[in-house]
Amino acid sequence: MSMREKLIGTWVLETYTEYPVDGSAPVHPFGEHPEGFIIYSADGYMSAQLSMPNRASFSSGDWFEGTDAEYRSQGLSYISYSGPFDVDEHSGELTHTIAVSMFPNWIGQVQPRTVKLAGDTLELRNTSQYRSLGRAVNARILWSRASRIHG
């Protein structure tokens, strides 16, 4: 089975850790127990949602009527993006081409990742550093294959 075939499906976020290039302590931007999913579809698209747990609701109950503080809090505790993905089976590199994103700076970017698949665990790492919380970092994101949810 190819790496691309193994990726297809829904994965649950386990950990998201950023490692500052300056050698300072690792950071968990969405807390020690983040929530989220990444979904890879058979037709070549992906969608990622990463969130802090227990985010506060807007007091108005209306997405378009939040306060500045509520919008800031939500913007710092959630990220999402989607678009096509490709896998280079030879190098093991995965690329996400960002078509839509909560962070507009990413739109149009092609973001390469290294991939490690071990059973029902998926590890993604960026291949070049990026800026987060004011410093250059590398990230490691662990996902586990989602079990079917019965409702």
Confidence at residue 130, expressed as pLDDT on a 0 to 100 scale: 93
Q: Is residue 151 part of a domain?
A: no
Number of domains comprising the chain: 1
Give percent above pLDDT 90 in the chain: 95
Q: Is residue 22 part of a domain?
A: yes
DSSP track, 75-105: HHSEEEEEEEEEEETTTTEEEEE-SEESSGG
Residue 128 tokens read as: 């070049």
Q: Is residue 71 part of a domain?
A: yes
- DSSP letter at 64 equals G
Q: Tell me, what CATH number does 31's domain have? A: 2.40.128.280
Residue 42 has pLDDT above 50, yes or no: yes
Q: Is residue 27 part of a domain?
A: yes
- HSE-up of 7 (CA within 13 Å, CB side)? 29
| pLDDT bucket at 149, cuts 50 / 70 / 90 | low
CA–CA distance, 105 with 79 (Å, rounded to integer)? 12
- DSSP letter at 147 equals P
Q: Is residue 70 part of a domain?
A: yes
Count CB neighbours of 67 within 10 A.
11
Question: What is the residue range of 117's domain?
Answer: 3-145
In the predicted model, what is the mean pLDDT of the chain? 95
Q: Is residue 150 part of a domain?
A: no
